Amino acid sequence: MAKRSRSGLKHKRQSEKRRVGNQAVLSRLKTLTKGPLTSPDRLAQALSELDRAARKGIIHQNTAARKKSRLMQRLTTGTPTPASPARGGAREHGNTGTKATS
């Protein structure tokens, strides 16, 4: 069994507290971004929350920028952006990614 120093136990307590707080923020972000964007006010709230999460280091700045861009695109065009093939999105559209054999 590993030794448990006071500093190690404190680090564990701090990490758990941060994890719970970050989880709440991420859940709220998901709720705001996945729901219907019925008004510009809702979009502004989602963008603000994304910026705040990036500023606090909960999500990466590039991730926030990408999500904001996709939200704006969704509001202007009214359609969701297609999934990226690099992340497995091609499978959703019927392409399995296997080579055709003849």
CATH number of the domain residue 22 falls in:
1.20.58.110
pLDDT for position 65? 96
pLDDT in tens, 18-28: 999 999 999 99
pLDDT for position 10? 94
- On the question of pLDDT at 37 being above 80, the answer is no
pLDDT for position 74? 86
Letter string b/e over residues 53-77, b meaning 16 or more CB atoms within 10 A of that residue's CB: bbeeebbeeeebeebbeebeebeee
Tell me, yes or no, whether 96 lies in a domain.
Answer: no
Tell me, yes or no, whether 2 lies in a domain.
Answer: no
- Whole-prediction pTM value? 0.66
Tell me, yes or no, whether 6 lies in a domain.
Answer: no
CA pair distance 82, 59, nearest whole angstrom: 22
- What is the total count of domains within the chain? 1
Q: Which amino acid is at 62?
A: N
pLDDT band at 38 (very low <50, low <70, confident <90, very high): confident
Residue-level length of the chain: 102
